[in-house]
């Protein structure tokens, strides 16, 4: 392997000649051979947004020349376009402040600028007016906000729209309700689907509320929150540039001592992701229960048959999209615990559990967005209710007896239901046998369409 010699404050080190990173990146590669999980690409993209914004702000106050700022911006645009993804090899399990990833980005930008004839120092120019202690927390928030705004919310809204279409398609179909896994009173199928729709829409409102907190950035706090070596007003200048680059409403956190050490906004936002995951778990479980069968289960829904379900049982088809959603949901719930633990570990002026927080948040956002898209396309949009099976179950249900309570009382109504169950009779037969109502009175009273 061809190498070149790079140096930092610790001395010289050999770096692969074909790569753009420098000495500090190489030291991290050699010192942290832990796991295979690399820094999320979303974090690198966020850093590329941040570094361009910082360069523009530094040029505005005279810390960089226009040429230097333009060179940094050009490199950042290419990084955001994914041109240099192999130049960011560092793992999650490194320094807890993410310093080595900040320097990895600085070194790559400086190298790319040098190839264009603009000499930049990774620390003095690319990292001007910054510290890893305010850039990584800022990149963490930028990446999280972009993931929520551009991936999770659009996927969730499309899923909610699919449920709205299913809801509108069957306005009059009545089915038996179930509570405690037991028969309950009737409801319209559209009413049940409206619940599924709201189970997606409610966490969207929570995520929108969380965006406001994620858009508060630590940038400008530098090492410990005092803003040492950052010009006055620098934080607002950077955020103004970020608003232009991303379209999101980033603003400085007014208390940098809070911004550097607390990850409460991330906990809050991921809590909304967990709420969405929990609701998706509920929806997927409902659908696979109601589609169970085809002959020995509930069989009230038909879902798309996407692939063979068994290597031994011919003709078997499984609710695989529901299973994928529920697996993603449990991973998100686990990630939430990790983020909560990590956020509790802020000591003095810095939280040093940043990369693991970033990794878990981005995995959750990616999983939920992808799972919702897949679930919508390959399951929800193909759901067809079995009206005949729903009607049969509705007519066989003993909980229709509930509408008799105002006429015959709770205890006699319970006696009717128990008699019918014990004797294998219909509810009407039990009521007539007990002499509590005439057939005509029963038919007039027990009308499911009036119970919904």
Which CATH entry fits the domain spanning 3-128: 1.10.275.10, 3.40.605.10, 3.30.420.310, 1.10.510.10? 1.10.275.10
> What mean pLDDT is predicted for residues 303-322?
96
- Encode burial over 259-274: b for 16+ CB neighbours within 10 A, e otherwise: bbbbbebbbbbbbbbb
Residue 267, pLDDT above cutoff 90:
yes
> What mean pLDDT is predicted for residues 200-212?
98
Residue 313, pLDDT above cutoff 90:
yes
Q: Single out the residue of 213, 206, 177, 201 nearest to residue 400, CA to CA.
A: 177
- Encode burial over 19-34: b for 16+ CB neighbours within 10 A, e otherwise: bbbbbbbbbbbeeeee
Tell me, letter by letter, the H, E, C secondary structure of 197-243: HHHHHHHHHHHHHHHHHHCEECCCCCCCCCCCCCCCCHHHHHHHHHH
Task: Provide the pLDDT for residue 182.
Answer: 96
Residue 197: pLDDT band by 50, 70, 90 thresholds?
very high
In a 10 Å sphere around its CB, with 0-12 CB exposed, 13-18 middle and 19+ buried, how is residue 86 labelled?
exposed
Residue 246, pLDDT above cutoff 90:
yes
Task: Give dist(CA 226, CA 189) in Å, integer.
Answer: 59
- Write down the catalytic residue from 180, 249, 270, 292: 180
> What mean pLDDT is predicted for residues 383-395?
97
Residue 120, pLDDT above cutoff 90:
yes
pLDDT digits (tens, 9 = 90+) for 38-56: 999 999 999 999 999 999 9
Known active-site residue 378: no
Task: Provide the pLDDT for residue 353.
Answer: 98
> What mean pLDDT is predicted for residues 379-397?
97
Task: Provide the pLDDT for residue 319.
Answer: 97
Known active-site residue 7: no
Q: Single out the residue of 45, 49, 70 nearest to residue 59, CA to CA.
A: 70
Q: Are domains 3-128 and 397-450 of this chain identical in fold?
A: no
Task: Give dist(CA 404, CA 336) in Å, integer.
Answer: 47
Fold of 149-215+254-387: Fumarase C; Chain A, domain 2 (1.20.200)
pLDDT digits (tens, 9 = 90+) for 332-347: 999 999 999 999 998 9
Mean pLDDT score across all residues of the chain: 97
Residue 13, pLDDT above cutoff 90:
yes
Among 20-34, 228-242, 272-286, 438-452, which stretch is predicted with the lowest mean pLDDT? 438-452
> What mean pLDDT is predicted for residues 262-277?
98
Task: Provide the pLDDT for residue 346.
Answer: 85
Task: Provide the pLDDT for residue 1.
Answer: 84
> What mean pLDDT is predicted for residues 354-358?
98
- Write down the catalytic residue from 310, 344, 378, 397: 310
Distances (CA, A) of 246 to 76, 159, 220, 241, 367: 13, 25, 19, 9, 22
Task: Give dist(CA 309, CA 261) in Å, integer.
Answer: 49
- Residues 98, 101, 105, 108, Cα dihedral to 10°: 150
Using DSSP, how many helices (H) and how many strands (E) does the chain show? 17, 10
> What mean pLDDT is predicted for residues 185-203?
98
Which architecture characterizes domain 397-450 according to CATH? Orthogonal Bundle (1.10)
In the chain, what are the domain boundaries?
3-128, 149-215+254-387, 397-450
Query: How big is the chain, counted in residues?
Result: 452
């Amino acid at each position: 392997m061809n190498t070149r010699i790079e140096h930092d404050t610790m001395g010289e080190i050999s770096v692969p000649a074909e790569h753009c990173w420098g000495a500090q990146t190489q030291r991290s590669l050699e010192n942290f051979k832990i796991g295979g999980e690399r820094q999320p690409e979303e974090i690198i993209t966020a850093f590329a947004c941040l570094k361009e914004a910082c360069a523009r702000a530094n040029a505005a106050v005279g810390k960089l020349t226009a040429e230097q700022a333009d060179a940094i911006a050009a490199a950042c645009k290419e990084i955001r376009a994914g041109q240099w993804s192999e130049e960011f090899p560092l793992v999650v399990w490194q320094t807890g402040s993410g310093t080595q990833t900040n320097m990895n980005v600085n070194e790559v930008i400086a190298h790319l600028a040098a190839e264009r004839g603009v000499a930049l120092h990774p620390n003095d120019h690319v990292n001007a007016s910054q510290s890893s202690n305010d850039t990584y927390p800022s990149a963490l928030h930028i990446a999280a906000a972009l993931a929520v705004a551009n991936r999770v919310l659009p996927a969730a809204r499309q899923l909610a729209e699919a449920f709205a279409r299913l809801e509108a398609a069957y306005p009059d179909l009545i089915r038996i309700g179930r509570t405690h896994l037991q028969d309950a009173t009737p409801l319209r199928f559209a009413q049940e689907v409206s619940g599924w729709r709201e189970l997606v829409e409610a966490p969207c409102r929570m995520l929108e509320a969380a965006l406001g907190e994620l858009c508060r950035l630590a940038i400008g706090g530098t090492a410990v929150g005092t803003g040492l070596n950052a010009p006055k007003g620098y934080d607002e200048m950077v955020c103004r540039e970020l608003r232009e680059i991303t379209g999101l409403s980033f603003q400085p956190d007014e208390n940098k001592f809070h911004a550097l050490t607390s990850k409460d906004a991330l906990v809050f936002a991921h809590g909304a992701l967990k709420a969405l995951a929990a609701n998706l778990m509920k929806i997927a479980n409902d659908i696979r229960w109601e589609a169970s069968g085809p002959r020995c289960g509930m069989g009230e829904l038909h879902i798309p048959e996407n692939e063979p379900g068994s290597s031994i049982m011919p003709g078997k088809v499984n609710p695989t999209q529901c299973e994928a959603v529920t697996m993603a949901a449990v991973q998100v719930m686990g990630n939430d615990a990790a983020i909560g633990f990590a956020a509790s570990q802020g000591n003095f002026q810095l939280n040093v559990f940043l990369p693991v927080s970033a990794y878990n948040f981005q995995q959750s956002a990616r999983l939920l967005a992808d799972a919702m898209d897949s679930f919508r396309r390959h399951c929800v949009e193909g759901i067809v209710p079995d009206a005949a099976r729903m009607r049969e179950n509705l007519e066989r249900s003993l909980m229709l007896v509930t509408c008799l309570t105002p006429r015959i009382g709770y205890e006699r109504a319970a006696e009717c239901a128990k008699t019918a169950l014990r004797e294998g009779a219909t509810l009407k037969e039990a009521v007539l046998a007990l002499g509590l109502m005439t057939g005509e009175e029963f038919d007039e009273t027990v009308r499911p369409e009036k119970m919904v």
